Chains A and B, each alone.
Chain A
Amino acid sequence: MPTIELDLIDLKRMLEVPDEELEELLFLNKVEVEEIGMTDAKVEITPDRPDMFSVEGIVRQLKSWLLKTKGLPEYYVAKPSIELKKSHLTVRPCIACAYVSNLDFTDEAIKSFMQLEEQIDKTIGKNREKSSIGVHDISQVKPPFTYKEVSTNTKFVPLGYTKEMTIKEILKDHPKGKEYGHLASGEKVPIIVDKEGTIISFPPITNAKITQVKPGTRELFIDITGTDENSVNNSLNILVTALADRGGRIEAVRIGKNITPNLQPKVMKFDLDYARQVLGLNEDNNKMKLLLERMNYGFDIENKKLFIPAYRSDILHPIDVVEDIAIAYGYNNFVTEFPMLPFIGSRHPLEEFSDNVKLLIVGLGFQEVLNFTLISKDRQFKKMNQTARGFVEIKNPVSSEYDICRTSLLPSLIGNLSANKHRRYPQKIFEVGDAVVLDSQSETKTRNSKKLCVVDAHSNANLAEIISIINSITSNLGIKTRVKNHDNPSFIKGRSGVVLLGNSNKEIGHFGEINPKVLENHDLNTPVAALELDLDLIFEKFKK
């Protein structure tokens, strides 16, 4: 979740609120305090409210919730005096701009604005892909501006440098070029130039040095470019309303036939009954309207028209507004209710069966262990003296210790013995758990496979003992099985076998004395006998 630094002195200058109430107030408005000090706080804001990624946005929400202001905030947008011409672009075709003057950029205001910019680029802009922000002091350049495409040989002085660089050089050497270069990988790249052809911006990588914002800057030209119209406009609206909350004067910019920003509220048809029904509230219309106003909405009861502030980018469906009504009402003010509906609960039959098998094995004196489904290819196959095949492999493992899904449980349990080498013997352990196997019939091309693995390690561990255990399990489950010699490289040659169902040749498991080579691979020097059974197949038979 997005985390921002909140300047508490700055916040309290805009909103009078007692210290002891602040944390609770933030909590009730989707802001979770991570750390709080005398002057600063680190807070987490849910990603659906990018308009609250700044002190200004949080204060706007809290003021309204506290009924210090209420309803739709009005923002005045002056007529455009600046124009931006847009030529045909094959990349980043969307652009929106605004001009904000009368700014009193204190240190706190600059910090908050830069933080907002960064978070907006990250969230709404999807790390500058869908939209990215450029902020300029245009006192040294001359409008009108033009947004166009140029070749990568074009030169200008980027932010943070004093010499001219080509676009190619910027992509190679400039820190932002390295970070976002993948977003400008074509032959043509977008730039913004002024009346005289001076480059002011190379979105989404860097601005030019000539429009660098300095302390004391009182006017800002903002450009938002991107691939997604909504992201571009939403980003701009959030930025300019935050600046306006600090006293900035917003002036529109003409872009061809359009004028941006558009701070007109969005209108949505909204049925108060729907909200009452979802929330289980009985408040009358006026009370419901007040709840909406507490969240900065405007509402026309008669026409069921809801006015959504222009900076709210998260309202996709009336249900999003319903949650805001609940926030306005106060989550902890709801009278909770536990519905007394007649239901019969139950375990999943396979899981219930597995539980019973576990109890049976515990009764045989084996301790349950738990292991991860993820394992390394090495541990699953090589260390078990097996050839790797038929397994689910992860594309982006974090560690080579966990790069595949286990296809059987035995390697995990032999691993457990290895880790317990210095613990008291006999060591009798088992696990009932899921392996993942390939299955071309399934829509996921794989399926979970429920297995039972029993491992017996002591100085006299042997085949007879493990076959007794198999017989005990199957006879207790009322299933007829037989065993047959069958060599398996994990076991001693001639001392392993398979378990077959009834008189069929359907294999439901295997067993044997572990091959000393495998013991050696696991740094073990105690004999081990083991069995692994397929519980899915046994359960199928058991059900019949």
Chain B
Amino acid sequence: MTKEIVKKLHPQEKKILLALKKIDSGNAKKISKSSHLSEDSIHKAAHWAELKGLVKHKKTVEKRIMLTEEGKKYLKEGLPEKKLVEKVYEKPLPLSDIKIPNMNIALAWAKKMGWVSFHEGKIEATPEGKKALKEQTPIEKLMKTGSGTEHELKDLEKRNLAKIKEIKTITYKLTGKGEDIVPYISKTGEELGQLTVQDIKSGKWKKKKLRAYDVSTPVPTIYPAKLHPYTKFLNNMKKKLITLGFQEMKGPFVELAFWNFDALFMPQDHPARGIHDIYELKNPTTGTISNKRVMKRVEMTHKNGWITGSKGWGNWDQKNATGLVLRSQTTAVSARTLASGIKPPEKFFTISRNFRPDVIDAKHLIEFNHCEGIVIAERLTFRHLLGYLEKFASMVGIERVRFKPGYFPFTEPSVEMFGNHPKLGWIELGGAGMFRPEVTRPLGVDYPVLAWGLGIDRLAMISLGLDDIRKLFSSDLDFLRESKML
């Protein structure tokens, strides 16, 4: 045990311990003489040794008298009140006949001490005054030797003859444990701290001892650069979807109302197209629908159902479809993908941003991610859709789900999925459905299309343990630096 302690001692600690053994106890100055270390190093190393229980420190406060210029002068020339007594020692004199410097001070103190008295306009020395002249007064003693009562010290300060300075000294002494280990400290050889290129090249390290370090000594914290926690969560989801055979699709943030609404068979007076639910643009305001064939079919489907077997909505105006909006649902990306001439069977997904007017708070963002996808193949059924949903739930660690009939303008049947979370109970995981024929046929797809969306922001909050949705996009460096790897 003792050897272990010795091994981990810093060379400076060793020097101090050895010095203290020699001098018994002492302040840094005293130790410095014996150890040849700077006073700063001594305090630092003594602190380390004290933490190990080898050294004990004692703080003492010493009052020291520092004479002012005036004090020094009086000490040399004598106090003014004594000079006054000297002048009137032989016979009383009128005030005007006495010529000494600092007359006022002399008079005031001489009177206060009772060394002089006034008699018929003359000043005469009292017996005490005469006696005092022959002796060293306490204040003179204090100025010469530095020793005196508190009261005398105060007088001295009051007369501005001296300043009292408190001097703190720390003295160190070995503890019993310290005493015990000193014999084990070898005095020979210099120890190496940081191994240098020169030490290695020159072979110097062979002759020196490499000092052992205490690995439990605190060190500075460093932070690795990382991906954002939310990115990591989303990457993980993407990886899982790719494993399930989904290809990633992409679409623009600024979207034609056509792809965001009309192609999804949302009637032109649908409330989601209102100013409170969709960001419209001031500049640029309108775009052009380049796929005229699809546009014509969508138009007919809205007006009278076209060949889809639907009644349609009765009207459609191209003007409302060419308006530009900020995409409010990634389903717009699905619509674009379906219209792009795909060859089923196919599976696509996207995890991307959407925009909706709202006031930002702990539960709402104006910009958020949706995770959604489509599966296009012959003979797909509603049972397959539910099968996919169960798979997604288990992908996010939820094994128990239940389905609620739901409503989305572009799917029928529609379903909302709830999952049983071990802590939160039943939570809504997402919505899904089979695209309506009024959606698929105009886009040129004659197969069933399963479409699903997961509430990815909500799932991320649960996974990352956040209770405020704004934190998903946090750029607070402390939060990011402290965030755990997923």
Contact = CB atoms under 8 A, between A and B. Distances in A.
Interface stretch (A110-118, A395-403, A504-512): A395-403
A345 B412 contact: no
Interface size class of B (residues with CB under 8 A): 35 or more
A397 B245 CA distance: 39
Contact of A394 (B281, B308, B474, B477): B281
Contacts of A277: 379, 381
Contacts of B326: 394, 405
Interface in A352-406: 355, 358, 361-374, 391-399, 402, 405
A326 B289 contact: no
Nearest to B448: A278
Interface string B278-321: 01111111111110000000000000010011111010000000
A331 interface: yes
Contacts of A442: 252, 287
B275 A396 contact: yes
A294 to B, nearest CB: 13
Interface centre among B244, B387, B389 (most CB of A within 10 A): B387
Contact of B415 (A331, A342, A364, A427): A331
B478 interface: yes
B347 interface: yes
A424 B477 contact: yes
A228 B269 CA distance: 12
Interface in B242-269: 242-250, 252-256, 269
A288 B351 CA distance: 39
Nearest to A48: B407
Given A358-B227, A367-B225, A370-B230, A348 B366 contact: no
Contacts of B310: 316-317
A345 B244 contact: yes
B359 interface: yes
Given A316-B310, A336-B386, A370-B473, A350 B250 contact: yes
A469 B346 CA distance: 41
Interface in A190-207: none
Nearest to B378: A341
Given A317-B311, A396-B275, A423-B478, A362 B225 contact: yes
A187 interface: no
A339 interface: yes
A323 B275 CA distance: 31
B284 A445 contact: yes
A223 B471 CA distance: 52
B475 A392 contact: no
B406 interface: yes
B225 A365 contact: yes
Given A279-B381, A351-B248, A446-B252, A317 B287 contact: no
A28 B269 CA distance: 29
A194 to B, nearest CB: 33
Interface in B210-254: 223, 225-228, 230-231, 235, 238, 241-250, 252-254
Given A372-B473, A398-B358, A367 B480 contact: yes
Interface centre among B280, B289, B391, B477 (most CB of A within 10 A): B477
B370 interface: no
A341 B285 CA distance: 43
Interface in B436-476: 436-438, 448, 472-476
Nearest to A435: B253
A250 B379 CA distance: 47
A348 B248 contact: yes
A47 to B, nearest CB: 6
A371 B223 CA distance: 21
A394 B475 contact: no
Interface in B379-411: 379-384, 386-391, 402-407
B226 A362 contact: yes
A405 B242 CA distance: 30
A347 interface: yes
B413 interface: yes
B284 A339 contact: no
B481 interface: yes
A399 B310 CA distance: 41
B279 A326 contact: no
Contacts, number: 258
Interface centre among A373, A395, A405, A444 (most CB of B within 10 A): A444
Given A370-B231, A372-B367, A317 B405 contact: no
Contacts of A371: 473, 475
Given A48-B407, A316-B312, A373-B367, A339 B289 contact: no
Given A369-B475, A371-B473, A280 B384 contact: yes
A277 B382 CA distance: 9
Contacts of B249: 348
A444 B324 contact: yes
Given A327-B405, A393-B281, A373 B253 contact: yes
A323 B434 CA distance: 10
A404 to B, nearest CB: 9
A420 B345 contact: no
Given A318-B309, A337-B387, A436-B253, A332 B403 contact: yes
B311 A316 contact: yes
B231 A392 contact: no
A405 B253 contact: yes
Contacts of A323: 405, 412-414
A513 B402 CA distance: 56
B72 interface: no
Contacts of B412: 317, 319-320, 322-323
Given A428-B225, A444-B324, 4 more contacts: A326-B405, A348-B247, A368-B228, A427-B477
25 contacts: A28-B404, A126-B271, A130-B269, A278-B381, A316-B438, A317-B412, A319-B436, A331-B403, A336-B386, A337-B383, A338-B391, A347-B238, A355-B235, A363-B225, A368-B227, A368-B231, A370-B472, A398-B359, A398-B366, A420-B476, A423-B476, A443-B289, A444-B252, A445-B254, A445-B286
Interface of A: 1, 27-30, 32, 46-49, 126, 130, 228, 230, 277-280, 316-320, 322-323, 326-327, 331-332, 334-339, 341-348, 350-351, 355, 358, 361-374, 391-399, 402, 405, 416, 419-420, 423-424, 427-429, 434, 436, 438, 442-448
Interface of B: 223, 225-228, 230-231, 235, 238, 241-250, 252-256, 269, 271, 275, 279-290, 305, 308-312, 314, 324, 326, 345-347, 353, 355, 357-360, 366-367, 375, 377, 379-384, 386-391, 402-407, 412-415, 434, 436-438, 448, 472-478, 480-481
